[in-house]
Amino acid sequence: MPDLAVLDALRGGLIVSCQANPDSPLRDPYIIGQLALAAERGGAVGLRIQGFEDVAAVRAVTGLPIIGLTKTDRDDTEVYITPTAAEGVKLVQLGAQIVAFDATSRPRPEPLTEMFAAVHAAGGLVMGDISTLDEARAALDHGADIVSTTLSGYTPYSRQLAGADWELMRELSDAGLSFAAEGRLNSPADAAQAMGLGASFVVVGSAITRPDVITGWFAKAVHA
Ligand SMILES: CC(=O)N[C@H](C=O)[C@@H](O)[C@H](O)[C@H](O)COP(=O)(O)O
């Protein structure tokens, strides 16, 4: 059975997403493991890790809770964050306590209820990555243990914002839903604001673990 205490361990804390795109010089499971250790040293209470190799590499170096996902390009769907139950189950077997699934309303290869049940049966918890309030309600109805604002701005029908989707966080909070704040939280002030809006915990990626992206922010400012 899944261990709900993991969510308690994350509550009120910072989760650091350690991911590197295929073209990044950091694209190496060893490097992702080192990024995870650096995040732990800095005070992260959990990690968000993409791909089987990286989940295994991070599990080998730290006991922190892992939110695992895959990013899978498929011809039959726009959904790319953990599109199948089999991927979710494998992430749990490799050491992820929570599996993040795309829980948007876009057409998908497998029903959410079945994917979430498969991960629960394997002993994992489910995070539904959503882009709107309606998707959050649906994900929780289908059995997600928590939702995350990950995909706001990444579906054509959600708010397209340069920064975080504060309005979505307000909506989730007003609806009394348990949510993680994620996506374009690019400063400590952003992270604090998300907590102030009622997030259970905050997930930060690019601003901590993507030096190429961060360098771009500085380079643009210098050249302006
Ligand atoms: C949309 C999508 O595919 N998001 C991914 C989900 O795992 C990651 O690429 C993001 O880095 C993560 O969500 C954290 O967000 P940010 O890097 O903005 O702090």
The predicted structure's pLDDT at residue 76? 96
Phi and psi at 47, nearest 5°, equal -135, 150
The predicted structure's pLDDT at residue 4? 87
CA of 150 to the centre of ligand 1 (A): 6
pTM over 0.95: yes
Q: Which residues of the chain register pLDDT less than 50?
A: none
User: Of all protein residues, whose CA lies closest to atom 4 belonging to ligand 1?
Assistant: 150
Note the CATH number of domain 5-223.
3.20.20.70
Taking CA 52 as the corner, what is the angle to CA 201 and CA 37, rounded to the nearest 5 degrees?
50
Atom of ligand 1 nearest to the CA of 210: 17
> Measured between alpha carbons, how far is 65 from 91 in angstroms, rounded to an integer?
12
Look at the alpha carbons of 39, 41, 43, 45 in this order and tell me if their dihedral is positive or negative. positive
The predicted structure's pLDDT at residue 113? 98
The predicted structure's pLDDT at residue 3? 80
User: Of all protein residues, whose CA lies closest to atom 11 belonging to ligand 1?
Assistant: 205
Neighbours of 212 (CB within 10 A): 13
Closest CA to 117 of 93, 96, 95, 99: 99
Phi and psi at 49, nearest 5°, equal -130, 135
